[in-house]
Amino acid sequence: MSTPQHCPGYENFKNLKSFVCKCPECGESKEIFSDEFNKDHTCAKCGKPIDFTQCTLDGSA
Ligand SMILES: [Zn+2]
């Protein structure tokens, strides 16, 4: 993972957090960023929608 470049959006970006959510269907991991919480996410592997509210946070993020 690279260090963010300093840019006009940096103040927002530095507060960005991400976590890995596992697909409830197939267990495929997907990294989701905090600014994407209100977007739809689907598993890249099986195409099922991922419901974040049922995801467990991965503390390593
Ligand atoms: Zn899946």
> Based on the structure, what is the number of domains in the chain?
1
Residue 11 has what pLDDT? Answer: 63
pLDDT block averages, 10 residues each, the chain of length 61: 61 71 88 82 91 61 42
Residue 9 has what pLDDT? Answer: 64
Please indicate, yes or no, if residue 55 is contained in any of the structural domains. yes
CA of 1 to the centre of ligand 1 (A): 24
Q: Write out the DSSP string of the chain.
A: -PPPPP-TTHHHHTT--EEEEE-TTT--EEEEEGGGTTS--B-TTT--B--GGGPPP-TT-
Residues whose Cβ atom is located within 5 A of ion ligand 1 = 23, 25-26, 28, 43, 45-46
Distance (Å, whole) CA 8 – CA 32: 22
CA of 12 to the centre of ligand 1 (A): 30
Q: Which domain holds residue 27?
A: 20-61
Please indicate, yes or no, if residue 24 is contained in any of the structural domains. yes
Residue 24 has what pLDDT? Answer: 82
Region class of 18: left (phi > 0), else alpha (psi between -120 and 50), else beta: beta
CA angle 10, 31, 39 (to 5 degrees): 75
Please indicate, yes or no, if residue 41 is contained in any of the structural domains. yes
Residue 31 has what pLDDT? Answer: 87
CA of 52 to the centre of ligand 1 (A): 13
